[in-house]
Each structure stands twice: as structure tokens, then as C-alpha cells.
Amino acid sequence: MSTLAVHDHHGVEHHDHDHEHHHNETFISKYIFSMDHKMIAKQFLITGITMAVIAMILSILFRIQLAYPDKSFPFLETLLGKNFAPGGRLDSNFYLSLVTIHGTIMVFFVLTAGLSGTFSNLLIPFQVGARDMASPFMNMLSYWLFFTASVIMLSSFLLQTQPAGPGWTIYPPLSALPKAMPGSGMGMTLWLISMVLFVASSLMGGINYVSTVLNMRTKGMDLWKMPLTIWAFFLTAILGILAFPVLVAGVVLLIFDRSFGTSFYLSDIVVQGQVMNFEGGSPILFQHLFWFLGHPEVYIVIMPAMGLVSEVMAVNSRKPIFGYHAMVYSLIGITVLSFIVWGHHMFVTGMNPFLGGVFMITTLIIAVPSAVKTFNWLATLWRGNIRFTPAMLFSIGFVSFFISGGITGIFLGNATLDINLHDTYFVVAHFHLVMGSAAIFGMLAGVYHWFPKMYGRLMDEKLGYLHFWLTFIGAYLVFFPMHFMGLDGVPRRYYSFTEIESLKQWVSVNTFITWAAIMAALAQVAFLFNFFYSIFKGKHATQNPWGSNTLEWTTPVERIHGNWPGEIPTVYRWPYDYSKPGHDEDFIPQTVPFSQTMSSNLPHDFEDSPVGDQEWVNTSKSNEHVK
Amino acid sequence: MAQLQQDKEKLNLAPKKFNMWIFLFTSFMFFMALTSGFIVYTGAGKGHELNFKIPDIFIASTAVIILSSGTMYMASKAAKGLQFAKQRMFLLLTIALGIAFFALQVYGWYIMAIKMQIYFANPNASRSFVYVFTGMHLLHIFAGLVLLLNNLRKSNGKTPQVKNLYSMEMSSLFWHFVDIVWIYLYVFLLLNQH
Ligand code: HEM
Ligand SMILES: [Cu+2]
């Protein structure tokens, strides 16, 4: 009896293992309701890519409107129907819906779930040396909630009325009054339902990630031997756990306002000449609750990308990551600080100037750890033995975008400047570079780099280069001109600028941006083809194709359940021993004990591990003396 | 052999217990957000204070839920001592107290809405907040009751003791947490009622 009770999990021994899992693995349990972290990672990735393609197409649709505000395109009516594009021109309300759903999908479904969901699931058990997540069942639930949320979000395009339209930040009153505009009705309701499921999914995922990192590391894997990817995923998960419940609180109150007649956010409302009986509410309250999540959310998006990029850069520069400890402390600094800067999204809400000053200072302080990380990446590249794989190029692209987008963040963080720049295209430029482009590049770097680990095959390099250069150039062409529009005061989320005399001149720039966007979008075809083709027909990968030190490359190429056929390997060293002087190869995997690398040991190697291996310190010291 | 199995079991369950701790954290953040929202709201303008006396019935419900934490503790203790009959009795008592708490809270709403004419849909949203606090907390109570019923099912003496203890630990963690959240909310309301 008791044997039964203990055996419902992977055994520690190889034998139990095969024995247990061969019988009851059906198609459904393997590919659909899988509880294996690798399969769940792939499910997240493919769903994320699908959502990204959809959101990208939405953006092209509204870019067409911005470029040619007065032209009609009959194919739009065929494509979208009379309701959304009457006479071949986008309906102005539908324009708002497109912007809203584009933003929501990109921020939450692609860059939160698609990014964390894929790589935390794939790499946490692999890189800390665990057979699976703390709770594989919750992990599966997390994916299926995400999937359901995605379906509900997309189903709002099937409505007679519009999908949600108040912007991805769903500020009331537009989001709180179902009658306010077409995008406030049923579409908004579906948005809220979808996001509640999404938050549940994120929390389940996050709880699992934290718990796995803290409890299931293999022998020898102390915190200071974890790759930066793991640090990043771990801290990202903590951010999510602390921030998402606050969004739920905000949304709960919003739902009461929408459907139960309360006035948390509503006051003095007149709809179509009719005075509504909402009194005393405060729309600013929603903004506080939203941005308390919203700002950490942008770091939830960027930190996993930072982790992936750090790893890819060290591997492909054949150098230890520069300033490993500083990298970790910066991540921790960002995590903590990101909770006290939300007010910088609200400088123009009439907040007390003193409070604005406080938020300004905290905002400028958070730029410091971000800058530390940037310098460390550059220093890692410096005089490295660089291998320009597609993953490496995307990582370098990440750093480029992070710098150019981060600098404008510092502009916006100054309240005096932000009062002018708020809600203009300058903000759009800022966050599309630092979040849109940088985080997507980090994600793509991850896909190219860990593709062999997911599918046992390699992606094509040539197509990778094509994809990189077109996307890199395209993204700059799209987002850089937006700075100048913003400086000139062009407001965001406007349907067209032809009605406003002073803004008419920007239509030509908008046309240019739209064509650049179409080019960048077409470049993604190279990626999609490469990705799906390589799954089936790519070159077979070797066990450790990049010469990496981390644990995932010690698992067999055929990704087995439980990850390692025998015992889980023990870890002896940090993950960044690349090109270590005195060693015959330019990498030393984490599983190689110091006793086998006498020629390259340094006293410094033992600083983080006070116990064990002491004897090798002395030997290595005496080695030095001999030399 | 038995020792070995114990170890394996620990290996699997420790992270899951940890999951519960983290979940409690998310829940904690949720209530912190709601109460912070209350503070921001009342701070924003005149006439946004609660300005009524919180019904005394909530004293009774507070007493009931504190008592239920006590009985829950006794149930855990009995489970550890392999006294399954005692465990069941205290579990039943805890469930009964939980249901009583639920009823008292709903009665509190009745007093507020019918007797004091303080409605949920209210131009002074700080009063709506009282309903939100209690309502969201009752959702947690409901979840706690489900966990307790599950324990009751497992306390038959036939379920392996490790499993029984494990789910007892999980639900007592949750139950004590929900208890503490209520005390926090109640004290918060008392401090803000004028
Ligand atoms: C160097 C650090 C950064 C600073 C000082 C900074 C500052 C700011 C400020 C002040 C705003 C508000 C602009 C306005 O609405 O008027 C803003 C907006 C935004 N930032 Fe940043 N930022 C930084 C980094 C980032 C990063 C790393 C991301 C994401 C990965 C990001 C994503 C966003 C987004 C999405 C918005 C716009 C939200 C919206 O209104 O829709 N920022 N940033
Ligand atoms: Cu921010």
C-alpha cells in the first residue's frame, strides 16, 4: 500500500523509470495533456509564436491605416468584413480594438507567457538538475489555462461588436462602462475573462518556477553556481507572484463597477447625454493598481531575455560572463526597485509634485542596475573569441535595442520632460525598442540557441542571418522615427492625423514606417519556415553543439522523460569556465570536478564554495609556485 | 527500506508544501492591494471615509474563526499522534465553525444592507470596499472548507499516513492563513471606521 503511495513520482533509479512510463504514455498524455516540462515548454513556444504572428498581422493592419488614412483597400473589407472595415477603410473603433489586442497579446501572451513559459519550463529543470518541475500537474494546468485564455482573447474578433478597445492598460471609464464605445462592451468582458485565466496561469507557472529553483537543485548546485538564466527566471517569477495579484484586485473592482453598479473608479459620468448615477469614484485608483503590476510587468518581460542573452553571450564569446555577481545583484536590484517606480506612468494625473519627485528619483535609480548589466554584456564581448551564430547576433541586437530604448527611458523618467512627452509617439518608440524589440530579440536568441535541446536538430544558419539582419534593420527603421514624431507632439492611439493641420506633415513618415514594418513582418517568414522546417528536416544536433558548460547539454539528445537516464549529475563549478587558462579545451562543463582540472585551478575558484574541494586549493597553489 | 521510502516521499512533497507557501503570498498580496486601494480611495477626497460603525456581529465571527484555528490545530495534533477518531472529530468541528463563520459574515451583510441601508453599489466606494473585503475573504473560506472536506475523506485511517499528514499540513497552513487575513481585515476596518 505504502509503496503505491510513494511511487507516483519519478523514481530516482533508472529502472523504475522506464518501467513506469512506457506503459501509459498515450498520444494524449505525451503531446496534449503532457506533464513533462520539455513538452510543456514547446507547447508554450508554439502557442506563443502563433499569438505573435497574429498580433503582428494586427499591427500591419493598423499601420496601413496610419500610412494611408484616406485610401480605401477593398481587400480589407473582404478580409475583415463590413463590420470592421466598411468600404475598405478600417472602422475607427476597430482601429482602437486592433491597438488594444495587439498590445495585450504582445505584452502578456507573447512576452510573458511565451517567453517565461517556454524558457523557464525548458531550462529550470535542465539547468538546476531536476527531473521535472515541483508540481508537473500544476505546470500542465498552467499551460491549458494559458491556451484557454488565448482562445478567449482571439474569440473576441468573432463578436458582432468590437473586441476590447480601451488600450492594453484598460483605463476606466472606457473599460468600466459597457456602453462607452463599441470596444467597451462584450469585447471588454471577454478581455477580462481571458486575463483572469491568464493571471491564474502565470501564477501557477511562477509558483512552480520558484519552488523548483529553491527546492530541487542537484547536488553541488548552490545558488552561486546557477547560470544567470536561472537567476533571471527565478526573480522574474517572484516579480510575477508579487505583482499579478494586485492586477487581479484592480480587475475585481473593475468588474464590480462594470456589472454591479459600484463606483470605485467612476464619477460624474455622462453617457450619450444621460447622467449616470456613478459618484465619487477615482479613475486614478485604477491606474495605481494597474501600474503597480504594470511596471514590474515590463521587467517580467525583459528579465528572462536578459538571462537568455547573458548565457548565449558567454557561450559564444567563449569567455566567462563579465561580473557574474554584479549581474545577479543587478537583477535583484531591478526586482526590488521595480515595485517603487510605478508612478512614472502617472506624472500627468495631477499627482502631488513631491510624490512625482520621489517617483522620478526611484526611476532614475533603476537605470543604474540596468546600465551595470549593459556594461557587463559589452565587457563580455570585449576581446572575446566571438562566434557569430544567429543566437549570438540576436543577443547583440538585444543589447543594442536595450541601450537605445533605455536611454529614452531616462528622458521619460524626468517628470518635467514627461509632461511633454507623455502619450506621444516618443513613449511608443521607447517601449517598442526596450521592450518590443529587445525582449523579442532575447526570445529569438533563446529559440535559435536551445532549438537543438527542444527538437534534437539545428536551425539553418543562413536563414537565421537573413532573419536577423532584416528584423534588426526593420525594427530600427520602424521605431526610430517615432522619437521625432513624439518630440513634435504627435499623440499615440489616434486613428488618423489628417484632421489636424500641424500633424499632417507626419503622414509621409508614417508611410515610410509602414513599409519598413511590412518588410520586417515579411522577414519573419524566414524564421517561421526555418523553425517548422527544422523541426522535421533540420540537421541532427550533437549532444553539446555549442560547447556549453551548463547541465542541459549533459542530457541525451533524445529528450527522455526524467531528463537523465542515470543519476542526476553533480555540479562542481560555476557555469562560466570558458577559455580557462591552462585547460586544454575552451570550456569546462559544470559536471567536471576540480580534481580533473588540476592544470587550470585557481584559488579564486573556491571562494564561493567553502566546503569540499579544499584539498585542490592547496594543490593548485603549489602548482602556481612551481611555475 | 521504510526509511528510504520516507526519504523519497519527503523529496517529492517538500516542494509542493513550498508551493502552498508561495500561494499564500500571492493571496496576501491580493488583500494588501485591496486595502491599499481603500487607503488611496479614502485619501483622495472628503466624504470618502467609511463613517459608520462596523456591525458588532463581526466580533462574533472573529471569535468563531479564531476558535476554528484552535480546533484545526488540535486536529493536526491528533493526526500526528495517529488518533484518527480524534482527528475526524476536530476536523468536523473546524468545518462546522467555518460554516458558522460563513453564515455570520453573510448575516453581517444583511445587517449592513437591510438594517443600516449601506449598500454595495454606493456613491461612497469605501463602503463598497467593506463588501469586497468580506466577499473576497469568504471565497478563501470556501476554498478552505473544500480542503478540509478533502482531509476528512483522507482521515479514515486507510489512507497512508504520509498522505494524510501532508494534506493536513497543507490545509492547516491555509486555514490559519485565512484566519489571520480576517483578523487583519477586521482590525483594518475598525481602525478606519471613522
Ligand atoms: C532605463 C530604465 C527605464 C526607464 C527610466 C523607463 C521609464 C519610463 C517612463 C517614465 C515611462 C512613462 C512614459 C509615459 O507614459 O509618459 C515608460 C513607459 C514605458 N516603459 Fe519604460 N523605462 C525604462 C525601461 C523600460 C524597460 C526595460 C521596459 C520593458 C522591457 C519598459 C517598458 C515600458 C513600457 C511598456 C512603457 C509604456 C506603457 C504604456 O503607457 O503603454 N521600460 N518608461
Ligand atoms: Cu514603468
Q: Is residue A13 part of a domain?
A: no
**Contact yes or no for B76/B175 (Cβ under 8 A):** no
Least distant ligand from the CA of A305: 1
Say if residue A620's pLDDT is above 90.
no
Chain B environment of A216 (Cβ under 8 Å)? 15
Antiparallel, parallel or unpaired: β A539-540 and A457-458: antiparallel
Residues A458 and A575 in one domain: no
- What mean pLDDT is predicted for residues A530-544? 94
Chain A environment of B125 (Cβ under 8 Å)? 262-264, 280-281
Q: Is residue A568 part of a domain?
A: yes
User: What would you report as the CA-atom Rg of chain B, rounded to the nearest whole angstrom?
Assistant: 20
Interchain CB distance below 8 Å, B136 and A252: yes
Q: Is residue A499 exposed (0-12), middle (13-18) or buried (19+ Cβ within 10 Å)?
A: exposed
Q: pLDDT by residue (tens digit) across B111-120? A: 999 888 888 8
A498 Cα: distance to centroid of ligand 2 (angstroms): 31
Instruction: Write down the pLDDT at residue A609.
Output: 59
Give the other-Cβ count within 10 Å of A190's Cβ.
Answer: 20
A431 Cα: distance to centroid of ligand 1 (angstroms): 6
Interchain CB distance below 8 Å, B19 and A134: yes
Residue B19: band (very low, low, confident or very high) from pLDDT cuts 50, 70, 90: confident
Residue of A527, A388, A386 lying closest to A460 (CA atoms) = A527
Out of A4-13, A521-530, A566-575, least confident range: A4-13
Q: Is residue A166 part of a domain?
A: yes
Q: A441 Cβ partners below 8 Å, 6+ apart?
A: A305, A394, A395, A397, A398, A401, A471, A472
Chain B environment of A141 (Cβ under 8 Å)? none
Q: Using CA coordinates, name the residue in chain A closest to B17.
A: A211
Q: Is residue A247 part of a domain?
A: yes
Q: A500 Cβ partners below 8 Å, 6+ apart?
A: none
Residues A620 and A519 in one domain: no
Say if residue B7's pLDDT is above 50.
no
Q: pLDDT by residue (tens digit) across B47-69? A: 788 888 889 999 999 999 999 99
Q: Is the CB of residue A413 below 6 angstroms from any atom belonging to ligand 1?
A: yes
Residues A403 and A329 in one domain: yes
Residues A526 and A589 in one domain: no
Instruction: Write down the pLDDT at residue A110.
Output: 97
Q: In this structure, which amino acid lies at residue A86?
A: P
Residue A17: band (very low, low, confident or very high) from pLDDT cuts 50, 70, 90: very low
Interchain CB distance below 8 Å, A263 and B48: no
Q: What is the extent of the structural domain holding A202?
A: 35-540
Which ligand 1 atom sits closest to the C-alpha of A168?
A: 41
Show me where the domains of chain B are located. Answer: 48-192
**Contact yes or no for A331/A467 (Cβ under 8 A):** no
Q: pLDDT by residue (tens digit) across A433-447? A: 999 999 999 999 999
- Near ion ligand 2, which residues have CB within 5 Å? A 295
Residues A286 and A175 in one domain: yes
Instruction: Write down the pLDDT at residue A287.
Output: 95
Residues A114 and A161 in one domain: yes
Residue A396: band (very low, low, confident or very high) from pLDDT cuts 50, 70, 90: very high
Nearest residue, CB atoms, A215 vs list B15, B34, B125: B15
Say if residue B26's pLDDT is above 80.
yes
Residue B26 touches partner A, C-beta closer than 8 Å: yes
Q: Using CA coordinates, name the residue in chain B closest to A206.
A: B22
Least distant ligand from the CA of A334: 1
Please provide residue A275's backbone torsions phi and psi, each rounded to the nearest 5 degrees: -80, 125
Residues A603 and A501 in one domain: no
B48-192 sits in which CATH class?
A: mainly alpha
Residues A434 and A568 in one domain: no
Q: Using CA coordinates, name the residue in chain A closest to B6.
A: A6
Q: Is residue A232 part of a domain?
A: yes
Q: Which long-range contacts (CB under 8 A, 24 or more apart) does B90-97 make?
A: B91/B148, B91/B151, B91/B152, B91/B155, B92/B152, B93/B68, B94/B68, B94/B148, B94/B175, B95/B145, B95/B148, B95/B149, B95/B152, B97/B64, B97/B65, B97/B67, B97/B68, B97/B71
Atom 14 of ligand 1: nearest residue by CA position: A422
Nearest residue, CB atoms, B160 vs list A5, A212, A216: A5
Total tally of structural domains belonging to chain A: 2
Interchain CB distance below 8 Å, B37 and A281: no
Size of interface A-B (CB pairs under 8 A): 129
Say if residue A181's pLDDT is above 50.
yes
- CATH number of the domain encompassing residue A153: 1.20.210.10
Interchain CB distance below 8 Å, A285 and B44: yes
Query: pTM of this prediction?
Result: 0.90
A297 Cα: distance to centroid of ligand 2 (angstroms): 9
Q: Give the end of a domain, one of A540, A573, A600.
A: A540
Q: Is the CB of residue A100 below 6 angstroms from any atom belonging to ligand 1?
A: no
Q: In this structure, which amino acid lies at residue B98?
A: G
Q: Using CA coordinates, name the residue in chain A closest to B22.
A: A207
Q: Give the end of a domain, one of A483, A509, A540.
A: A540
Q: In this structure, which amino acid lies at residue B184?
A: Y
Residues A409 and A271 in one domain: yes
Average pLDDT, chain A: 89
Say if residue B8's pLDDT is above 70.
no
Residues A221 and A349 in one domain: yes
Chain A environment of B18 (Cβ under 8 Å)? 134, 210-211, 214-215
Q: Give the end of a domain, one of A506, A540, A574.
A: A540
Higher per-residue pLDDT: A21 or A211:
A211
Q: Is residue A16 part of a domain?
A: no
The dihedral built from the CA positions of residue B57, B58, B61 and B67, taken in this order, carries a sign that is negative
Interchain CB distance below 8 Å, B14 and A215: yes
Question: How many Cα atoms within 13 Å fall on the side-chain side of residue A126?
Answer: 28
User: What would you report as the CA-atom Rg of chain A, rounded to the nearest whole angstrom?
Assistant: 26
- Angle (CA) B64-B66-B67 rounded to 5° is 65
Interchain CB distance below 8 Å, B33 and A250: yes
Say if residue A24's pLDDT is above 70.
no
Chain A environment of B26 (Cβ under 8 Å)? 203, 207, 241-242, 244-245
**Closest Cα in chain B, distance from residue A11 (Å):** 8
Instruction: Write down the pLDDT at residue B45.
Output: 72
Query: Residues 28..67 of B with a Cβ closer than 8 Å to A: which?
Result: 29-30, 32-34, 36-37, 40-41, 44-45, 47-48
ipTM of predicted assembly, 2 dp: 0.90
Cα–chain-centroid distance for residue A181?
31
Residues A158 and A283 in one domain: yes
Say if residue A624's pLDDT is above 60.
no
Residue with the three cell numbers 559544470? A590
